[in-house]
Amino acid sequence: MTSRQPFDLDAYVERATKGPCFICEMISGNPAFAHPIVAEDEETVTFLSKYPTLPGYCLVCPKAHVEDLAEGMSEAAYLGLQRKVHRLARALKQVFAAERIYVLSLGSQAANSHLHFHVVPLPAGVPLAQQQYHALMAEHGVLTIPDAEKAEMARTIAAALAALEDK
């Protein structure tokens, strides 16, 4: 059963500002930073968010520790990353019958500096007051999704991505 729990913003800020890069740690295999992987290749990794506000909330990032979108990667690398974001958006739309897919890049030099894109399916029927930024803000609570359900969600999204490759 998926439920919402309060988000400890202070603890998150402490980890994000004083801890190692969570993406680099996840990629290196550190179990303390494990996330369910949806897709991975030589350049990028796509995984489920540790703090989802909506089911299917994913992050897409380069494996290399790139911090600056404008100056840290070539146009070709950026467009390749955006192709992955677009394909993920198409898969999420199918899997979650999403009304819309939200895409944004967050992080800063102060915390979570590794470039990453949040790709989030908005379910149909969510009231307008709970859409857009409200739907993405962990301060309104994060979903508690059992590990087995997260693993199944990652497999389902991965299968939808694979089906898009066949087309």
**What is the arithmetic mean of pLDDT over 119-131?**
94
pLDDT digits (tens, 9 = 90+) for 33-51: 999 999 999 999 999 999 9
User: Has residue 66 got a pLDDT over 70?
Assistant: yes
Q: How far apart are CA 122 and CA 154, in angstroms?
A: 17
pLDDT above 90: residue 108: no
Of the candidates 102, 163, 166, the one whose C-alpha atom is nearest the C-alpha of residue 136 is: 102
Range of the domain at 27: 3-165
Q: How many domains does the chain have?
A: 1
Average pLDDT, stretch 87-102? 97
Percent of the chain predicted with pLDDT > 70: 98
Half-sphere exposure of 89 (CA within 13 A, CB side): 15
Query: What CATH number is given to the structural domain containing 10?
Result: 3.30.428.10
What pLDDT is stored for residue 165 in this prediction? 79
